[in-house]
Protein backbone atom coordinates (compact mmCIF):
# COMPACT_ATOMS: atom_id res chain seq x y z
CA UNK A 1 0.00 0.00 0.00
CA UNK A 2 1.41 3.38 -1.04
CA UNK A 3 0.86 6.31 1.22
CA UNK A 4 1.30 9.81 -0.05
CA UNK A 5 2.83 12.29 2.34
CA UNK A 6 0.92 15.57 2.36
CA UNK A 7 2.89 18.60 1.26
CA UNK A 8 3.81 21.07 3.94
CA UNK A 9 1.73 24.22 4.09
CA UNK A 10 4.76 26.25 3.02
CA UNK A 11 5.40 24.23 -0.14
CA UNK A 12 1.72 24.27 -1.04
CA UNK A 13 1.61 28.04 -0.59
CA UNK A 14 4.76 28.46 -2.67
CA UNK A 15 3.31 26.27 -5.40
CA UNK A 16 0.11 28.33 -5.50
CA UNK A 17 2.08 31.59 -5.60
CA UNK A 18 4.28 30.30 -8.42
CA UNK A 19 1.20 29.21 -10.35
CA UNK A 20 -0.43 32.64 -9.92
CA UNK A 21 2.78 34.36 -11.04
CA UNK A 22 2.94 32.08 -14.09
CA UNK A 23 -0.48 33.42 -15.08
CA UNK A 24 0.84 37.00 -14.85
CA UNK A 25 4.16 36.30 -16.57
CA UNK A 26 2.94 36.70 -20.20
CA UNK A 27 1.70 40.22 -19.43
CA UNK A 28 5.10 41.18 -18.00
CA UNK A 29 6.97 39.47 -20.83
CA UNK A 30 4.86 41.30 -23.41
CA UNK A 31 6.64 44.48 -22.31
CA UNK A 32 10.07 42.82 -22.32
CA UNK A 33 10.28 42.03 -18.63
CA UNK A 34 9.98 39.00 -16.44
CA UNK A 35 9.56 38.14 -12.79
CA UNK A 36 10.79 35.54 -10.35
CA UNK A 37 9.63 34.51 -6.88
CA UNK A 38 12.60 34.90 -4.53
CA UNK A 39 10.92 33.89 -1.28
CA UNK A 40 7.82 34.06 0.84
CA UNK A 41 8.61 35.66 4.18
CA UNK A 42 7.29 34.52 7.56
CA UNK A 43 4.75 37.36 7.27
CA UNK A 44 3.54 35.85 3.95
CA UNK A 45 5.00 38.64 1.84
CA UNK A 46 6.03 37.41 -1.61
CA UNK A 47 9.44 38.81 -2.51
CA UNK A 48 9.64 39.21 -6.29
CA UNK A 49 12.65 39.89 -8.51
CA UNK A 50 11.76 41.92 -11.58
CA UNK A 51 13.99 41.27 -14.58
CA UNK A 52 14.58 42.35 -18.16
CA UNK A 53 12.94 45.60 -19.21
CA UNK A 54 11.48 45.97 -15.70
CA UNK A 55 14.93 46.84 -14.33
CA UNK A 56 15.13 50.59 -14.11
CA UNK A 57 11.64 51.10 -15.53
CA UNK A 58 9.91 54.02 -13.80
CA UNK A 59 6.64 52.06 -13.82
CA UNK A 60 8.05 48.91 -12.21
CA UNK A 61 6.93 49.82 -8.67
CA UNK A 62 3.42 50.57 -9.91
CA UNK A 63 3.41 47.27 -11.78
CA UNK A 64 4.58 45.48 -8.65
CA UNK A 65 2.03 47.05 -6.29
CA UNK A 66 -0.98 47.80 -8.49
CA UNK A 67 -0.72 44.82 -10.80
CA UNK A 68 1.21 41.92 -9.35
CA UNK A 69 0.31 42.43 -5.68
CA UNK A 70 -3.38 43.01 -6.36
CA UNK A 71 -3.70 39.94 -8.56
CA UNK A 72 -1.55 37.71 -6.38
CA UNK A 73 -3.44 38.60 -3.19
CA UNK A 74 -6.75 37.87 -4.94
CA UNK A 75 -5.55 34.47 -6.18
CA UNK A 76 -3.68 33.49 -3.00
CA UNK A 77 -5.41 35.21 -0.04
CA UNK A 78 -2.73 34.09 2.44
CA UNK A 79 -0.28 36.46 0.77
CA UNK A 80 -0.27 39.74 2.68
CA UNK A 81 1.74 41.77 0.19
CA UNK A 82 4.48 41.86 -2.40
CA UNK A 83 7.95 43.40 -2.11
CA UNK A 84 10.73 43.85 -4.63
CA UNK A 85 13.92 41.89 -4.12
CA UNK A 86 16.88 44.04 -3.09
CA UNK A 87 19.31 42.28 -5.40
Q: What is the CATH number of the domain that holds 47?
A: 3.30.300.130
**Within a domain: 4:** no
Domain assignment of residue 3, yes or no: no
Nearest-angstrom CA–CA distance, 57 and 42: 29
Tell me the pTM.
0.82
Cβ–Cβ contacts within 10 Å for residue 59, how many? 11
Split into its structural domains, the chain has a count of 1
What stretches in the chain show pLDDT beneath 70?
1-10
User: Which residues 6+ apart lie within 8 Å of 39 measured at CB?
Assistant: 46, 47
Q: Which domain range does residue 35 map to?
A: 9-84
Please give the full DSSP string across 48-77, using - where no structure is assigned.
Answer: EEEEETTTT-TTHHHIIIIIIIHHHHHH-T
Amino acid sequence: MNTVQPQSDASTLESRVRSALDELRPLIQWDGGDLELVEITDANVAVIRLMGACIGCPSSQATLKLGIEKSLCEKVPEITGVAASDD
